[in-house]
Structure 1
Amino acid sequence: MNAPSLFRYLNQEKIVFILTVLLFVAFAVTLNNFLSSANLLSLVRSVAVLGVLGLGMLIVVLGRGIDLSLVAVMAISVAWAMQLIHQGVPVSGALTMGLLFAVGIALCTGILVAYAEIPPLFATLAMSTFVYGFGRAHLITGTDVVYMPKTMGWIVTFGQGKLFGIPMPIVVAAAMALIVYLFLRYTKLGNFIYAIGDNLAASRIGGIAVRPMLVLQYVLSGAIAFVAGIITATSVEAMNTRIVNSNMIYDVILVVVLGGVGLSGGRGNVRNVIVGTLLIGVLMNGMTIMDIQYTVQNVIKSLILLLAVVVDSIVNPRDEQTGQQGDI
């Protein structure tokens, strides 16, 4: 196999997967506590949450959008649901209200993007700020951290249970990945999302209801964010709303772009999200064990994100239509 053929075979997804394996082996050999059960459990949880959020971001990015409100929706909706349980609302009712809040916010975001034609970058950034401010002022006043009620019941297994010895966060993340894969691959709505991302004008001419589909993308993203929040809250028995002000949303974008999902839309799949999540999860875990300062970690991740975006711009160049839409 000559060099050009080898280069064609080793696409971005496969290169990232190979790097993940090499990095895992290197950390396992050089870091004393990397293979400890406590550390691997921490790695599993972080990878699961990042992966689920990455699935939500994937759906939006495939349709030429981006969702910077994912983490805010995740944190506030789940924190509010747990506070309602503390106040005596039944678990099922509180979780339903939290899910409806997440979906409602996502619906508003989708309408802003699809019908008001506000670029997704600005619409979701503004919505993220609104959700965090509104949530702290009116829904979960007086605290940054909402602790998990003791009456959560079976829902706790999402973060702390095991299925055949496999931690439930991984099981839930795998189930979500399968659902999203089947949705994108075998349903008309999934095909419509790819079509819109590939060529919005042709999709409209072809009879696809483009605006409702754009709204649907954000609604699905909001629902997936709520699931990620449940995993987070039940894993650590609390939801810290200050996570909204962290760099987590950029980690989500990083796993999507790094795995090979095209920011220009219409290119990518669940497998891309999985390999990107594994690499960033292993990298972040290893840097934490090495006691690398948080600011230095952010610099490293920022450089990786910049490199990934440059590679994406070369592999998946923006076309004239994408530029006119103002989407990332």
Structure 2
Amino acid sequence: MNRTSSSPPGRAAIGWRRLQHGFTQERIVLSLAVALFALFAAFLPGFATQDNILSLVRSVSVLGILGLAMALVVIGRGIDLSLVATMAISVAWTLALAGSGMPMGQAIAYGLLLAIGVGLVNGVLIAYADIPALFSTLAMGTFIYGLGRLKLIPSDVVPAPEDVLWFTRIGQGELLGVPMPVWLFLAVALAGHVFLRHTRAGRFVYALGDNHLAARITGIPVRPMVVLQYGVASLIGCIGGLVTAASVSGMNTRIVNSTLIYDVILVVVLGGIGLSGGKGGVRNVIIGTLLIGVLLNGMTIMNVQYTVQNVVKSSILLAALIFDSLLNPRDEQTAQQGDI
């Protein structure tokens, strides 16, 4: 009788499995962030000062908020390339309305409604018209940017009203010595964690990303959930844009042509949220944001050219995508090992 198959695994096999379990992308990225921080603190003058640390966390807060928005759709096995365009146009329109005399609170409400509307249209195109998320959001980003510049916004740069002190405080104020953008990032992160982990809709998002067809069979309203995902993601993105506008006293719509959308994807993928969907959470976004924040701050202190920084970031993104494809195959065919 062959006892090999029924015998318990040896100590070596158990040790290897424990090593694999501990060898997660999240822990690797966190370790890299800590090591990079320690390295910069030891060899870069001025890096470990209180002012620089506060500047670092302030600068990456908006990136973190946008990362949370992107994470929501990526967990549901989607992607939103219109996020930055929606953010820029909705916030610039908000500032334009406020500049024309509309009360700031009412203008913000209109901007949020515009952002949510764009997200809902994205969701409808993806869920009901069956257009792939990559193409529908790319087209929507181009459309909303062109429409906004043509009909809604008088110029590329829209200044924030100087007499609305509470709005300025959102981006430039402090609470208990910590910049307000950091508190807002933490608030959005907490809300995102509660939504994803402690609500039925959040569990539906994970089920959607894990297995779309199985979610449909079990009775989950798949199409409405897709629409909800993109609507909430655009809402969060607009909040990030408002923080940006309050921090720099305006919104430059040319940010749409920057590498910001790739930075957002980098934070999400690098933190350990697989593009295959169904895994990850707020903690992954925070960890990815910390690593990118430390890296960019260090390169800025070293006076590394902007183009070189982009090369570094794109190389890291490419490596993270390759690593993600190995850890999280997107279907049964790519999950097969040994095929040529």
TM bucket (normalised to shorter chain) is: over 0.9
The amino acid across from 1:291 in the alignment is N
TM-score (norm 1): 0.94
Q: What do residues 31-86 of structure 1 show as CA deviations (whole Å, max 9, x unaligned)?
A: 22323455333322221111100110111001110001111111111111011111
Q: What do residues 170-197 of structure 1 show as CA deviations (whole Å, max 9, x unaligned)?
A: 1110010000001000100000000010
CA contact (8 A) 1:59 1:217 kept: yes
Check if 1:58 corresponds to 2:75.
Answer: no
For the residues of structure 1 that align with 2:184 and 2:276, how far apart are their CA atoms?
29
Coordinate RMSD, CA, aligned = 1.8
Q: CA deviation at 1:28?
A: 1.7
For the residues of structure 2 that align with 1:153 and 1:111, how far apart are their CA atoms?
38
CA contact (8 A) 1:56 1:221 kept: yes
Q: CA deviation at 1:18?
A: 1.0
For the residues of structure 1 that align with 2:334 and 2:200, how far apart are their CA atoms?
23
For the residues of structure 1 that align with 2:116 and 2:58, how far apart are their CA atoms?
24
The structure with the larger Rg is 2
1:146 counterpart SS class: strand
Within 5 Å, give how 1:1-328 maps onto structure 2.
Answer: 5-141=18-154, 143-320=155-332
Q: What do residues 195-250 of structure 1 show as CA deviations (whole Å, max 9, x unaligned)?
A: 01001111111111100100000000000001100111111112111111000000
CA contact (8 A) 2:160 2:245 kept: yes
The amino acid across from 1:223 in the alignment is L
CA contact (8 A) 1:73 1:128 kept: yes
The amino acid across from 2:215 in the alignment is S
Q: 1:241 to 1:36 in 2, by over 3 A?
A: farther
CA contact (8 A) 2:170 2:247 kept: yes
Q: CA deviation at 1:165?
A: 1.5
For the residues of structure 1 that align with 2:110 and 2:163, how far apart are their CA atoms?
17
CA contact (8 A) 1:64 1:265 kept: yes
Aligned residues: 322
2:277 counterpart SS class: coil
1:263 counterpart SS class: coil
Q: CA deviation at 1:321?
A: 9.8
Q: 1:179 to 1:43 in 2, by over 3 A?
A: same
Q: What do residues 279-312 of structure 1 show as CA deviations (whole Å, max 9, x unaligned)?
A: 0111111112211111111111111111111111
For the residues of structure 2 that align with 1:11 and 1:28, how far apart are their CA atoms?
26
1:89 counterpart SS class: coil
For the residues of structure 1 that align with 2:209 and 2:40, how far apart are their CA atoms?
38
Range that drifts further, 130-139 or 255-264: 130-139
In structure 2, the residue matched to 1:326 is none
For the residues of structure 2 that align with 1:227 and 1:121, how far apart are their CA atoms?
23
Q: What do residues 101-148 of structure 1 show as CA deviations (whole Å, max 9, x unaligned)?
A: 10011111111111111100011111111111111111112x221111
Range that drifts further, 172-181 or 25-34: 25-34
For the residues of structure 2 that align with 1:305 and 1:153, how far apart are their CA atoms?
39
The amino acid across from 2:218 in the alignment is G
Q: 1:314 to 1:137 in 2, by over 3 A?
A: same
Q: CA deviation at 1:153?
A: 3.4
Gaps (5+ residues) in structure 1?
Answer: 324-328
1:225 counterpart SS class: helix
- Percent identity between the aligned chains? 59
Q: CA deviation at 1:278?
A: 0.4
1:239 counterpart SS class: strand
CA contact (8 A) 2:95 2:160 kept: yes
Gaps (5+ residues) in structure 2?
Answer: 1-13, 336-340
The amino acid across from 2:168 in the alignment is V
TM-score (norm 2): 0.91
CA contact (8 A) 1:264 1:322 kept: no
For the residues of structure 2 that align with 1:268 and 1:82, how far apart are their CA atoms?
35
For the residues of structure 2 that align with 1:101 and 1:256, how far apart are their CA atoms?
25
